[in-house]
Homo-oligomer: A and B are copies of this chain.
Amino acid sequence: MQKVNSTPVSELGEFGLIEELTKGIKILNPETIFGVGDDAAVLDYQDKKILVTTDLLVEGIHFNLIYTPLKHLGYKSVVVNLSDICAMNGIPKQVTVSIAISSKFSVEALTEFYDGVKFACKKYNVDLIGGDTSSSLTGFLISVTAIGEAGENDIVYRGGAKPTDLICVSGNLGGAYMGLQLLEREKNIFTENPGVQPDLSGYDYILERQLKPEPRLDIIESLKVAGIKPTAMIDISDGLSSELIHICKNSQIGCRIYSERIPIDVTTCEMAKEFNMAAETAALNGGEDYELLFTVSIKDYEKVKSIKDVSIIGNVTDITDGLNLVSPDGNLIQITAQGWNAIK
Contact = CB atoms under 8 A, between A and B. Distances in A.
Interface of A: 9-10, 12-14, 17, 33-34, 37-47, 49-56, 58-62, 84-85, 87-88, 90, 94, 96, 98-101, 103, 129-139, 141, 143, 145-148, 150, 152, 155, 157-159, 233-235, 250, 341-344
A41 B158 CA distance: 12
B34 A157 contact: yes
Given A141-B141, A155-B42, A135 B52 contact: no
B45 A50 contact: yes
B41 A52 contact: yes
A158 B13 contact: no
Contacts of A133: 56, 342-343
Given A45-B45, A61-B137, A98-B54, A85 B342 contact: no
In this complex, the member of A38, A101, A141 whose beta carbon has the largest number of chain B beta carbons within 10 angstroms is A38
Contacts of A234: 39
Contacts of A100: 56, 58, 61, 141
A87 B38 CA distance: 9
Instruction: Give the 4 A-B CB pairs with smallest separation, nearest first.
Output: A143-B143, A40-B53, A39-B87, A43-B50
8 contacts: A44-B152, A52-B147, A54-B143, A54-B145, A55-B132, A56-B143, A58-B141, A100-B141
B134 A38 contact: no
